[in-house]
Amino acid sequence: MTPRTGAIVVLLAVASSCHREPPVARSGDLSVDRAWATAAPDSAGGTLYFTLHNDGSEADTLLSVMVDSVSATAHAMETTGGMMHMVPLDRPVIPARSALTLTPGHLHVMFDEPRRRIALGDTVRVALRLARHGTLTFPLVIGPYRVE
């Protein structure tokens, strides 16, 4: 992670801790809310967004994300030379008493090559594997793209 990406993660973590919705998944001190997903225009994958709260006294690390049992990749958006591009976000840390928030134009998870075509209204199964808290699993309905 570059210093710029690290700063983005910290800023999003602080901003996200201000608003809480009912969680879609919980494990110990960790919870997931504001979870939503969109399908790619060709239905060959999609994008996942969520807020992962850590109310505990120790940081945790997001080791991997699976969507319908297929590996997905976390990315951050960076601007270089006036052009935005995605950079892989390898094992983001969820600080103690903070949150990791994925939103359009910033951090997100892309799932490519699903085992089936994905369309608006379909339900996918999301699994977040964490270093300290194990795996958080929850269903998520594919919705229209939106900006938060």
Where do the domains of the chain lie, and which CATH numbers do they carry? 3-143 (2.60.40.1890)
Question: How far is 70 from 85, CA to CA, in rounded Å?
Answer: 24
Q: Are strands 107-112 and 45-54 parallel, antiparallel or unpaired?
A: antiparallel
pLDDT (tens digit per residue) in 3-19: 555 544 544 444 444 55
The Cβ of residue 57 has, within 10 Å, a number of other Cβ atoms equal to 8
Name the nearest CA neighbour of 125 among 76, 39, 74, 65. Answer: 65
pLDDT at 57 over 90: yes
Question: How far is 128 from 37, CA to CA, in rounded Å?
Answer: 14
pLDDT (tens digit per residue) in 71-115: 899 999 998 999 988 898 889 999 999 999 999 988 999 987 788
pLDDT at 61 over 70: yes
Task: For residue 62, count CB atoms less than 10 angstroms from its CB and return exposed for 0-12, middle for 13-18, buried for 19 or more.
Answer: buried
